[in-house]
Structure 1
């Protein structure tokens, strides 16, 4: 029995949810998939899957084996893809999904530089703050910002994303500068619709969560640029990533508030589906974007 093939069969059953679906994905018969998994369990002398007529589920041992098997297969596929791509220039259309504000401010130069290195790659960049389904919607790559939870997708961290609370000098002069998080209750807050306030963050998040649930007359939007512009105009306090707000802070249009209570950084991630062989155009883009924005990112320069 080929160990790698057996490992692939087992992982496919787990991801696809059944032996028949795994067989379709691997383009082999369900009987062969079942044989691979059974032989794998015999060799390991442990049950990896609980089987019923309706579904399969992982045993405790299967859960541990699945995690390691994914890593091993990913390394094998990456090695094969890199070796296979040594003599191939990447080409074709690369479909990318990216957050609106980040893409508008920081992706035009990235895509331009990438295509200077790989002129045979056509880039189709779609902007959407919604969490797209990469596979179902036909994307090769998605850029996501946040703290990613476990999933079947592969995620690679590209850069840290700082989140700062700020307001215009005129607003702070008129309404006062908050000294402690509890002072936020007396201020107007410009709320970003997509930001997650799960109660597990620091004091700033807790106060803004409470205020957002009780306050009337505040301003809410699903676009951070609009909120930053409103804050510059004196509308209130805004909590936004530095890749949006840093230019206004550097120019003095916004002042950072409660810097000693700054949230832990989030991350900018490049996310892609787990595939048997990673297309060369995808691998080249992942390698290209790694380190492209700097460490720390250039938008954080001169931001205290």
Structure 2
């Protein structure tokens, strides 16, 4: 079997089309099409269903892709490590990270890594959907409270916690008083109670959601305007609490939010991925919510 043709087949399958694969790899579309056709002829199998606008893997094509994608990646990682003179990080590193973490933290993190490892071409994509690392070509993903996945390994590198905040002009309600207006992420529901803890002890805050927004950054901005109270990650609210733009009403009771750095189990841990994991550990040696909040505050400053 022609290994180069197999690699081109994987490239087309991963990107879902000859045109997309050609643009991603800066290769002629005709060359990719010819190599895949030659591979199909050598195997006497049709690997793609070719329509006017759609290119889909056949059952045989999908089986070949699933069984060879990891193998080709391992070969690439091995060749890169050998060429990197003893494991010096170099080459392309693609990372997917949650939107909020990317907006508040990843810019500074990525810049520090780029300065430390100039031979690595780092690409960071901010998105909240659960990406398919193998098919989409990511080397590392950062996820918040991920579901167990037998194909991925990794570690918790940060923790965050939710706090209840409001504009300083909005008085904190007394126990038994009427519900205060609230800003929530997502759809607006009925009245509810938020359980919080403070230095004085535990209490319940009755809230009446008035505004629903799709991102926590939007929620924070609305709370600054005095619309109502909100539950926000400490890392996002901390700069405004320190500056006096938001009042801290208490910590939300419940489990902490965990941020994981994950990579595939069946792939060699490249020097690039290992270097980024070390970079995370250097940036957040304790991985505590207060450490993340301080990092975000420094970034905002």
CA contact under 8 A between 1:189 and 1:219: conserved in structure 2?
A: yes
- For 2:70 and 2:91, the matched residues in 1 are separated by 25
* 3-state SS in 1 of match to 2:163: strand
Q: Which residue of 2 aligns with 1:285?
A: 276
Q: Which residue of 1 aligns with 2:217?
A: 225
- For 1:282 and 1:99, the matched residues in 2 are separated by 18
TM-score (norm 1): 0.59
Match of 2:228 among 213, 236, 239: 236
Give a deviation string over 1:181-226, Cα, whole Å, max 9, x none. x86x7122211239xxxxxxx846xx89x97xxx6x6222221111
CA RMSD for the aligned pairs? 3.7
Q: Deviation of residue 162 (structure 1)? A: 1.6
Greater shift, 161-170 or 274-283, is seen at 274-283
* 3-state SS in 2 of match to 1:287: helix
- For 1:27 and 1:235, the matched residues in 2 are separated by 50
TM-score (norm 2): 0.59
Asked whether 1:188 is paired with 2:231, we answer no
More strand by share: 2
Q: Deviation of residue 277 (structure 1)? A: 1.3
CA contact under 8 A between 2:182 and 2:210: conserved in structure 1?
A: yes
- For 1:276 and 1:161, the matched residues in 2 are separated by 29
- For 2:133 and 2:225, the matched residues in 1 are separated by 38
* Unpaired segments ≥5 residues, structure 2: 1-62, 72-79, 188-193, 197-203
- For 1:27 and 1:264, the matched residues in 2 are separated by 35
Q: Which residue of 2 aligns with 1:266?
A: 257
CA contact under 8 A between 1:188 and 1:237: conserved in structure 2?
A: yes
Q: Deviation of residue 136 (structure 1)? A: 2.6
* 3-state SS in 2 of match to 1:188: strand
Residues 188, 266 of structure 1: alpha-carbon distance in 2 compared, 3 angstrom cutoff = same
CA contact under 8 A between 1:161 and 1:267: conserved in structure 2?
A: yes
CA contact under 8 A between 1:92 and 1:281: conserved in structure 2?
A: yes
Q: Deviation of residue 119 (structure 1)? A: 0.9
CA contact under 8 A between 1:158 and 1:291: conserved in structure 2?
A: no
* 3-state SS in 2 of match to 1:225: helix
- For 1:22 and 1:132, the matched residues in 2 are separated by 17
Asked whether 1:122 is paired with 2:113, we answer no
* 3-state SS in 2 of match to 1:108: helix
Q: Deviation of residue 123 (structure 1)? A: 0.8
CA contact under 8 A between 1:168 and 1:255: conserved in structure 2?
A: yes
Match of 1:178 among 173, 180, 190: 173
Q: Which residue of 1 aligns with 2:103?
A: 104
Paired residues, what number?
Answer: 211
* Unpaired segments ≥5 residues, structure 1: 1-19, 29-80, 195-201
- For 1:156 and 1:239, the matched residues in 2 are separated by 26
Q: Which residue of 2 aligns with 1:250?
A: 242
CA contact under 8 A between 1:102 and 1:244: conserved in structure 2?
A: no
